[in-house]
Structure 1
Amino acid sequence: MSRQEIVDALIEHQGQLYSEAIGANFARDTPQELFHWLIGALMLAARIDSGLAVAAAAKLREAGLHKIDAILDADDARLIEVLTDGGYARYREVTTGYLKETAAWARDSFDGDLRVLRDRAEDADALLEALQGAKGIGPIGAAIFAREAQLVWDIFHPRADGPALDAARDLGLPDDAEALLKLAGGRERFVRLMAALTRAALDGPADAVRAAR
């Protein structure tokens, strides 16, 4: 099978964005959706199954606890309850603290609008470092955020790193962002390819991807 067939199978069968899975409409590029993806990236960066992290981040949205003011107004017990319902029991107490501190940081540092942080940054590396001002977001969390932020933020596009490149090599694909962008055939498809390759690395390739390979 050709590289193009592998890419097409990845996008079709494993290309749902993680931001979509938690309920964030990232393509809108609004403060609220960006903040929800930030806390999603925070949760995905923990040493926990990515499926549980996605489920818990989605539960926060269902409960209305994906908004800065709502998080700051909620008591710890309520946040812990929602995280537990989402299966995020192992890190629920520390994550509750991270959510509170990150919400306060976002409100106090740039009035809750991550686009301000983006516009202040000189380059992608500076922006990745600035994102680590969020409690619980380290280099891995910042990279997770950037992976899907590149859908709407030029400063990060095209970006390919981490487990996505490991999966690309395992599947016989190039491990270079520009080459993968060319195979994807467009910006949105490229970002979906990054999500698909990340899933392939973490959960294994889908059957259709294996067949295409």
Structure 2
Amino acid sequence: MAQKDVADAVIEAQGRLFNVEMGADIARDQPAQWFHWLVGAILMSSRIGHANAVRAAAALKREKLHTVEGILGSERSRRIKVLNENGYARYDTQGADYIHAAADLAKERYDGDLRRLREEAADPQAIADALTGFKGIGKVGAEIFCREAQMVWTELHPQAGGPALDAAAELGLPKDAKRLAGLAGSPERMARLVAALTRAALDGPAEEVRRVAG
């Protein structure tokens, strides 16, 4: 089976973006969406299942704790409670403190708008480096943020790494971001392909993907 067919199958079967799943929807390119995605990247950076991290990030939005002002105006105990009750019990205290620190830095450094981080960065590496200035965001967290941000912040394109590349190799796809981008065809589809490959690595390939990949 041609690699393009496999890539298309992976995108179709497992290509739901993590930011969309948690309710951030960064394609809208608004400050609140970008900060919520940063919160999601912080939560997904911990040693906890990605499904639990996404569930916790979605719960924060339901409780209006996904924006800079919402978090800064909240009680620590409330943030801990929401995380604890939504799949993030092991890291609820840490997570509550990390997202508060992120909100504080976002307001102080970028006036609550992470698009300013993009504007100030000279290149993709500078974006990743700036992201690691947020507590709870290391190299992995920056990769998580950037792999979906590339659909809007196209200077990040192509972006792929970690378990996604391992899954690509197992499915007979190139273990290379540029070649994967060629199969995807656009920054938006590349973000979906990397999300899909990450899901395939963490949850296993979907049945349709296995069939097409042979």
TM-score, structure 1 as length reference:
0.97
Alignment of 1:107 onto 2:107: yes
Counterpart of 2:145 in structure 1 is 145
Moved more, 77-86 or 136-145: 77-86
Question: What is the CA distance between 1:158 and its match in structure 2?
Answer: 1.2
Matches within 5 A, 1:126-205: 126-205=126-205
User: Residue 154 of structure 2 contacts residue 187 of structure 2 at CA under 8 Å; is this kept in 1?
Assistant: no
Alignment of 1:85 onto 2:82: no
Counterpart of 1:10 in structure 2 is 10
User: Residue 59 of structure 1 contacts residue 85 of structure 1 at CA under 8 Å; is this kept in 2?
Assistant: no
| Shift >2 Å, 4+ stretches | none
Counterpart of 1:57 in structure 2 is 57
Report the identity percentage. 51
User: What is the distance in 1 between the residues matched to 2:178 and 2:133?
Assistant: 29
User: Residue 45 of structure 1 contacts residue 137 of structure 1 at CA under 8 Å; is this kept in 2?
Assistant: yes
Question: What is the CA distance between 1:188 and its match in structure 2?
Answer: 1.3
> Residue type matched to 2:166 in 1?
D
Question: What is the CA distance between 1:139 and its match in structure 2?
Answer: 0.7
Question: What is the CA distance between 1:87 and its match in structure 2?
Answer: 1.0
User: What is the distance in 2 between the residues matched to 1:59 and 1:206?
Assistant: 27
Question: What is the CA distance between 1:171 and its match in structure 2?
Answer: 0.7
User: Residue 150 of structure 2 contacts residue 188 of structure 2 at CA under 8 Å; is this kept in 1?
Assistant: no
Question: What is the CA distance between 1:85 and its match in structure 2?
Answer: 2.0
User: What is the distance in 1 between the residues matched to 2:77 and 2:86?
Assistant: 14
Question: What is the CA distance between 1:2 and its match in structure 2?
Answer: 2.2
Residues 78-111 of structure 1 deviation map (CA, whole Å, 9 limit, x = unaligned): 1111112211100000111101111000000010
| Secondary structure of residue in 2 paired with 1:144 | helix
| Secondary structure of residue in 1 paired with 2:47 | coil
User: What is the distance in 2 between the residues matched to 1:202 and 1:65?
Assistant: 27
| Secondary structure of residue in 1 paired with 2:108 | helix
Residues 36-95 of structure 1 deviation map (CA, whole Å, 9 limit, x = unaligned): 000100000100000000000000001110011111111111111111221110000011
| Secondary structure of residue in 2 paired with 1:90 | helix
> Residue type matched to 2:127 in 1?
L
What is the number of residues matched between the two proteins? 213
Question: What is the CA distance between 1:208 and its match in structure 2?
Answer: 0.7
User: What is the distance in 1 between the residues matched to 2:150 and 2:113?
Assistant: 16
Question: What is the CA distance between 1:185 and its match in structure 2?
Answer: 2.2
User: Residue 41 of structure 2 contacts residue 141 of structure 2 at CA under 8 Å; is this kept in 1?
Assistant: yes
Alignment of 1:125 onto 2:125: yes
User: What is the distance in 1 between the residues matched to 2:51 and 2:6?
Assistant: 24
User: What is the distance in 1 between the residues matched to 2:188 and 2:126?
Assistant: 24
Task: Give unmatched runs, 5+ long, in structure 2.
Answer: none
| Secondary structure of residue in 1 paired with 2:84 | helix
Counterpart of 1:29 in structure 2 is 29
> Residue type matched to 2:34 in 1?
L
User: Residue 40 of structure 2 contacts residue 57 of structure 2 at CA under 8 Å; is this kept in 1?
Assistant: yes
Task: Give unmatched runs, 5+ long, in structure 1.
Answer: none
| Secondary structure of residue in 2 paired with 1:65 | coil
User: What is the distance in 2 between the residues matched to 1:154 and 1:12?
Assistant: 22
